[in-house]
Structure 1
C-alpha cells in the first residue's frame, strides 16, 4: 500500500507550484475488480486496450470465470436456462453462432464467457477462489483498502485507486427466513446451490417460491416426482417468452429474409435450432446480425407495457390474463391466488413455458397458506396443516439489496448498508455519492430488471465499463485523486426516474415511501444516456490544489522524442484529409 505523499495531499494543503512534467502525464494507477463474470471479463479486456501504466487485479470467489453462470454450471438445478434470447445475451461485438437453442441453457452461456476469456488470455488478471470481504475508502491516501479471504480461510490486504464491483445482483442466494430449517430429516436444497446428488424421482417434493427458478424447476419435478406441492405467497404474471414475436405483431424482419420472422415467431416458446439453422448462422454472419437486431427490437418495442395506464400495458395485461385463465382451466381458487391484481410490468413478468400446465397436473398441489415452520417431517403451514416430504426445494432466490455482498465503507467510514437503509441513492445506476472512485454496473435505477433490460445485458455492461475507464483516464491524466457523483445531480436523476415508473415492484426496498429502482426507458434510451459522460455532474478532488496543474511545463510527451520521431506525434493536426487526430 502506498504511503501518503505530498502529491496525495488535498487541495490547499501546500503552496501551488508548476509541475515539471509534460501535459497530461499519466500517473501509475491500480484497479481492483470484484468478480469475473460478464462485466469483470470485459473490464479486463478493455483495460488492456485502453489503459496505460495501469495494474489490474480481479478477485473471483469461484474457481472459474462466468459469474452467476459458473455457479449454475457447478450447481445446476433442473431446467436452468436464460430467459433472454441467446443471440443477444452476448457481447455486442462478439456473436456466438454456436448457440443451439433460442434460449440457451446455462452450460452454453458459461462456455461462451469461458471462450471469451481464453481468446483474449484474460486469466492472468484473475485471482480465483478469492472472496473480497471488505473495502474501505482511505481519505488521506485517496485509495481503497481491500480485504480478501482465500480458499484456505486466510486473508490478505490489497489496495487500489479505483474499485469496480462487477459482482452483479444475483450473487448472494438466501435460505427462506423460516424457523426449523435444520430440523428437516429429508433432503433440502436451494435452487442457487443445487446438489446434483438429490434424486426426486418418485419422491414427495416441495417447491417453495415461484420466481424465475421455481417456475423453471416445477415442470421438471412434475415429470418425475410422485407428488409436488408448490408454496407461494404472491401472484405473478406468467407470460410467453419475452424474446419472441407475438402472433399478429408487426415484424421488424426484412421481407427477403423470411427465416428471421419464422425464428422470432417460434421464440414465443423455448426451442432448439435445427442443425441447418446453426450452420446458417456460422456461414452467414450478416443474417445472424440481422436476427440479433430484430430480437432486440422485438423486446424494446414492449416498453409501454411497463408504464402504468398506457394503452399497451392494458392490452398486454388483457392478453396475458386470458392466456393464464385458459391454461388454469376451471380452477377458480388457483386463478384467484396466482393471477395478479397489480398491473403488468409493476413486477417482473416471468416467462414460464410449461409452468401453468404443470401447476394443474394431477400430481401437483398449490399451497396458499403461509409457512409457519420446517420440522422433521416437512412443513407446517399457518393454517395448522402438516405437509410431509422427502425433498424440499427452496427456490427463494437471491438477496437483492443492491449493497455489495462485501462490507463497503465510504467517506467517514459510512457503510453502504447504512447509507442505503432507507433509499438507494445511485447516480445512473453506476456510482454513489460519498463513495469516491467506486464504480459498479447495473445497480439501482440502472437497466437491470425491467422488461427493457432482460435483453442484451452484456452491451449495457460494456457501456458502463467504458464509462468507468473514461473517468479513470481523466483522473489518471489530470491529477484527480477522487471523484464521485454530486448529490444534487444524483437526486435530480432519481426524481426523474421515480416519476417515470410509479408502481409497486419487487425491485424496490420495503417501506411505504420506497421507490422502484429501474431505468426509466428503453435499452437504446439508456445507451444514449451513457454514451456521453456528463462530467459536470461529478465532484473532483485534485492532487496539486489546482485543476489545471496537469498542463504541466508547457510541453507534451511527444516533445521529448528524438527529432526524427516527431513527424507524426506532436503535429498530427497537419494531414492530407479531414480525419480525426489526437496529440498524445
Structure 2
C-alpha cells in the first residue's frame, strides 16, 4: 500500500472496529488477537462502541503496521479458523448449515460456476442456446451478466428508456432503499463509493446501470420495446416472442429459453373509490410520478402509509398548504442505524483499499439483517399473549418497537392510538422512519384512519362526513403484486396460458422459478420469493439466476433441448410451501397485507430463511425436470 503507517492509521479512525478486528485477524492469522478482542466486539447490528480506547488504539496501530508493510502476505486461514472468527464476530455459535453460504459471500470458498464444471461438449452445445430476458431491472441485469460469463447468447427487452426496473419507475420525493446499501447490491459487484448508507433512487439506478455496462450487458438491451406475447411452439420446442417497438411495429423473435424478470412490483394499484372519476384536480400514483406538477401551497391528499407513503409524505408536508393522510392501518416505522448518514471518506477508503474489509462489512449486515429475526415471524401455536403478538420473541420485539413510537409521540397522545399498529410485528412490511412521526405532528398535517366515503370534484369526504378540500391526490397504495408476468400473454404447451393456471392473482411456481407446462421458461422474483424478514431482494435474484444457469448447464450437459419441471415436483414443493406459510405471521388472524391475494393466500413472500433458499437453488435436484431432446 503506497501510504505510510501514520496516514493509514488516520484513515482507520471512525471505521467500524469490530470489522477492523476481523480484518486484522485474517491478515495476520493471529488467533490470540481474536481471543483478546472477542469479548469487546459489539454484536452485528448493534453498532455500539464497546472496545476500550487503549485497545482501540492498539487495534489501529497493529492494522496500520500490517497494511504499511511492503509485500505483506496474509497467511492461509483454515475453514475451522474462519468459523471461529464468525462465532466471535456474531457473538453466537454460527450454525454449520450457514457456513457454505457465508464462506462464499466472504470469497473464502467459491463454488465454481456451472459452465466451469461442465464438459467441453456441454460448453459447445450451450452455444446453440438463445435466451430472451424480459426486463432490465436488478434481476434482468444479473441474469444478463451471468449469461455473458457463461458465453450464452441473450438479449434483454426493456419497455422503458433505461435500466433499473422499479428504480427507474419510482421517482417520487425521497424514494430510496430501506435496506442497507452495502447489502442491497450484487455480491459480485460491491460498490465502495456509496454516498449514503441508505441511498436514494437515482444513485441506486446509476449503480445498476454501471453494473450493466461493466458486465457487458448494455449492448444486449433493446429499450422502449414491449413483449406482448410469449408462445411455446411444441413442434420446434422454441419460444415465439411477439414484441412491439416504440414506433408501434410488431415483430416475432424465436428463442430457446425465456427468463421473465418483470418482478412483483410493477402494476400500480389504485383502489376503487366512489366518485374518483369526477375529481378535477391532479392525481397520481407514486410509481407514476409527474415531476412537472408543483405541489407547493396545495391541499394534498395522500392515500396509503406503506413504504412509498412513509417516504413521500415528509417532503410533501414541507411544501404543502395542507397534507391530509388517509391510512388503512398504521405502519411499523422504525429507527435504523445510519439511515440518514453519509458514508465518510475514511469508510469509503477502507472499503476500497483494506483487504477483506468490504466482505466482512457485508457479512456483518447479512448476519444482522438476514435471518436473525426469522424466528420472530413464526406463529407459536401455544402462545397465549393475545392477538397483537404471535410468540415470546415477537412480543419482545413489539415492546421495543412500541417504546420507540411512544417516545416519538410523547407530546402528542392524540396521535398515538392512530399511529400505533394493531397487528403483530412483521405482519406487514416493517419500514424505516423517514421523519414520519415528526411529520405527523406538523400543524399542516392531519392523519385519518376512518376511511374515505367518496370523492367530489374538489374534495374528499371521509366516513365521518368531514369534507376535505383537495387539489391533488397521491396514491401511495402499492401494487397488484400477485399479478406476475403481466399484462403479457404467456402460452405454454397445449395452448394453456399462465392466466389459465394462475387466474388473476394466484401464481405458483417451483422455487418461484419454474411452472409445469412451460418448458425452458424461468422466472426471477416470481411467486413466493419476496423477502419480508430481512436480507436483500438482490440476494434472492442472485439465487434464482444461479439456479437458472445450473439448469442451462444441465440441459447442455445432457444434450437435450428442453427441460420442464414435473407436476409432481411442483406440487410437492408448493404443499411444503403452503404448510410453512400457514405458520407465518402474514397469515395471522386479522392481518391483511399486500402479500395476500383476494382469497387470503400469501402469493408473494418466501417463508424460508435465506440460507434454506440459498441451499435449494445451489443445484438441480435429480428427477425434478422432464428433459427432452426434441418434441
Q: Give the TM-score category using the shorter length.
A: 0.7 to 0.9
Q: 1:38-437 maps to which residues of 2 (within 5 A)?
A: 38-51=138-151, 54-72=152-170, 76-241=171-336, 266-267=337-338, 269-300=339-370, 301-308=372-379, 309-329=390-410, 334-405=415-486, 406-421=488-503, 423-437=506-520
Q: Compute the displacement of 1:295 (Å).
A: 0.9
How has the CA–CA distance of structure 1 residues 193 and 159 changed in structure 2, closer, same or farther, with 3 Å as cutoff? same
Distance apart, 1:468 and its partner CA: 0.9
Bigger relative CO (Cα 8 Å, ≥ 6 apart): 1
Residues 533, 223 of structure 1: alpha-carbon distance in 2 compared, 3 angstrom cutoff: same
3-state SS of 1:361 partner: coil
CA contact (8 A) 2:509 2:526 kept: yes
In structure 2, relative to structure 1, the CA distance for the partners of 1:140 and 1:374 (3 Å cut) is farther
Question: What SS class does the counterpart of residue 608 from structure 2 fall into?
Answer: coil
1:234-276 Cα shifts (integer Å, max 9, x gaps):
23322233xxxxxxxxxxxxxxxxxxxxxxxx33x32212233
Secondary structure, counterpart of 2:623 in structure 1: helix
Residue 404 of structure 1 aligns to a residue whose secondary structure is coil
* Matches of 2:345 and 2:403, distance apart in 1: 35
**Is the 1:481–1:541 contact (alpha carbons within 8 Å) kept by the matching residues of 2?**
yes
1:26 aligns with 2:125: yes
Question: SS in structure 1 opposite 2:367?
Answer: helix
Farther off after superposition, 457-466 or 26-35 = 457-466
1:473 maps to 553
Q: Give 5+ residue unaligned stretches, structure 2.
A: 1-119, 380-389
Q: Secondary structure at the match of 1:532?
A: coil
> What is the DSSP-based 3-state SS (H/G/I as helix, E as strand, rest coil) of the residue aligned with 1:434?
coil
1:518-541 alpha-carbon deviations (Å, 9 max, x no partner): 223322222122112213222233
Structure 2 counterparts to residues 562-581 of structure 1, below 5 A: none
TM-score by length of structure 2 reads 0.73
Confirm or deny: 8 A CA contact 1:324 1:339 kept in the other structure: yes
> RMSD over aligned Cα, in angstroms?
2.3
Q: Which runs of 5+ in 1 are unaligned?
A: 1-21, 242-265, 545-584
Q: Matched residues in 2 for 1:136 and 1:78: separation?
A: 40
Q: How many angstroms does 1:285 deviate by?
A: 4.7
Runs (4+) off by over 6 Å: none
Per the TM alignment, residue 379 of structure 1 is displaced from its structure 2 partner at its CA by 1.9
Determine helix, strand or coil for the equivalent of 2:254: strand
Give, in angstroms, the shift of residue 179 of structure 1: 4.3
Q: Distance in 2 between matches of 1:534 and 1:516?
A: 24
Number of residue pairs aligned between Structure 1 and Structure 2: 490
Q: Supply the distance in 2 between the matched residues of 1:507 and 1:528 (Cα, whole angstroms).
A: 27
Deviation of 1:319 after TM superposition, in Å, equals 1.3
2:578 and 2:330 map into 1 onto residues whose CA distance is: 24
